[in-house]
């Protein structure tokens, strides 16, 4: 293999690393959007319900004698909504972290493979260059 071909292979592998990094960046952005799409509406809906519930709970407490039944009902609803909200926020974070970890693992695996290829090609290049130098020295000795 010629020196130019080896250099070309190195450049191709380096281009692949760049492509993998760009692809991983796109996947990360896509993962964030996907997770937001899955969770944000639920979180906002739950947060809206929670906010309304908390306001109603305060009003019921102020009028406790005439609103006793409503107050008890809202206490349960608000607690359930708080728990749901917390769980959704935690779920979003866990899902995003898991997806980003998987993307990172995939990126590292691909890059490691390309770096190994580059190392092997560089060794071939060094060997070829050493052979060329040796050939030139022999040629000079003959002349």
Task: Please give the helix or strand (H or E) that residue 98 lies within, else none.
Answer: helix 68-142
Q: For tokens 């492509």, what's the residue?
A: 19
Q: Which two tokens stand for residue 109?
A: 């695996």
Q: Which two tokens stand for residue 106?
A: 């995939």
Q: What's 100's domain CATH number?
A: 1.10.287
Q: For tokens 């306001």, what's the residue?
A: 55
State the Cα–Cα distance between residues 143 and 136, nearest whole angstrom: 11
Output the pTM of the full model.
0.44
Q: Residue 38: what pLDDT?
A: 85
Counting the structural domains of the chain, the total is 1
Contact 81, 50 (CB under 8 A): yes
Q: Which two tokens stand for residue 19?
A: 């492509």
- Tell me 67's DSSP state: S
Q: Does the structure show a pLDDT above 80 at 104? A: yes
Quick: pLDDT tens for 39-49: 999 999 999 99
Task: Please give the helix or strand (H or E) that residue 136 lies within, else none.
Answer: helix 68-142
Per the structure, the complete domain to which residue 51 belongs is given by 3-142
């Amino acid at each position: 293999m010629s020196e130019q071909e080896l250099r070309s292979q190195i450049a191709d592998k380096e281009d692949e690393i760049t492509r993998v990094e760009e692809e991983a960046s796109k996947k990360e952005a896509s993962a964030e959007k996907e997770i937001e799409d899955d969770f944000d509406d639920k979180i906002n809906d739950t947060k809206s319900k929670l906010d309304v519930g908390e306001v109603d709970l305060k009003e019921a407490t102020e009028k406790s004698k005439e609103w006793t039944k409503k107050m008890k009902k809202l206490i349960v609803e608000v607690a359930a909504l708080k728990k749901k909200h917390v769980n959704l926020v935690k779920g979003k974070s866990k899902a995003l972290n898991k997806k980003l970890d998987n993307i990172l693992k995939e990126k590292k695996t691909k890059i490691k493979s390309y770096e190994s290829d580059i190392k092997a090609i560089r060794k071939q290049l060094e060997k070829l260059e050493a052979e060329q130098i040796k050939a030139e020295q022999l040629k000079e000795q003959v002349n």
